Each structure stands twice: as structure tokens, then as C-alpha cells.
Structure 1
């Protein structure tokens, strides 16, 4: 199924770069991330989830975030704006 979503520009650039790094399509990468987010770390339910990324991939993510100027993290999730359809 194809969906339309709105995301922060630098985040999309980082995701596209990571997908290429991993040899995945952007859709495959997003599915992988979402599925892993549904797997809680035992004893940390609601606080932590499993990461689908290797140490090497996480190092690449840090580089991509710097290259593309992505300065937000999980603690700074964008709140839906009126009319966003969220």
C-alpha cells in the first residue's frame, strides 16, 4: 500500500541515505524500523524498543545526521499541526 506522509526534510534525507547504505528501498527501511519499534526491550516496555540497526549503521546515521543537518532526536518529536491530518 502506498501512503503519503509529511516528515521533516533532513530526516527524509537521512532515511534515504540509510536505506541506500543498507541496500533497501525507503519503504523497506521504514517497515523494518516500525516492526522493530513494536518489539519492547524486556523490562523497559513503553520506554525502549529493539533497534534494527548495526553499530556500523548507527555510525553512518550519525554521519548522515551531521551531513544533512538533522538536529532533532526522539525526545523532540514534532507535534501535529492543525490541518496536518495526523
Structure 2
């Protein structure tokens, strides 16, 4: 049986790259969950070194990356700068 765990959530002002956010929103909608739930799941999987998405989800993500022109990869992580030159 699914055991629910009570938690406390807080509002945050996280800034994300525009196309990354579009893909995340599409993935959340595809899985019929909220954006916050998706991000929490990704982070909890990453914290344990576990794979977050299966083959079907990865295929959907790739289609959304193409649709939204998301050409950034993991190699670009921590190297991104705002168009005005700030980090």
C-alpha cells in the first residue's frame, strides 16, 4: 500500500532558463503532476544517484526539447550566463 508522508512545502523564487522550464512543465503535464512534484521527484532521485525517467519519458523529453529548441546539455551546467552577462 502507498504510504503517504506528511511534509511542509515553501514558496520559492527559483529562476530557471526559459526553455528548460517549458520542457519541465510539459513533462509534468504529461505525467499529470504539478511542476513542484516533478522537481521534487527529480531531486530526490538525483540525491540517491537513481535514474529519474524511463525510456518512454526520455523519448517524450527529447521530443519536447526539440519542440522548444532546448539545445543545452548537462555539459552546459554551471556555465550559463544571463544575456546581460550576469550569472
Structure 1 length normalisation: TM-score?
Answer: 0.78
Residue deviations 1:32-75 (CA, integer Å, cap 9, x gap)? 000000112xxxxxxxxx22212101000000000000000111
Ranges in structure 1 where 5+ consecutive residues have no aligned partner: 41-49
Structure 1 CA distance, aligned partners of 2:27 and 2:57?
8
Q: How does 1:23-34 map to 2 (within 5 A)?
A: 23-34=32-43
Q: How does 1:37-56 map to 2 (within 5 A)?
A: 37-40=46-49, 50-56=50-56
Structure 2 CA distance, aligned partners of 1:64 and 1:35?
23
1:47 maps to which residue? Answer: none
2:45 to 23, 26, 36: 36
1:8 to 17, 22, 28: 17
Bigger radius of gyration, 1 or 2?
2
Residue deviations 1:15-44 (CA, integer Å, cap 9, x gap)? 00000011110000000000000112xxxx
Q: Aligned pairs, how many?
A: 75
| Runs of at least 4 residues off by over 3 Å | 78-84
Structure 2 length normalisation: TM-score?
Answer: 0.77
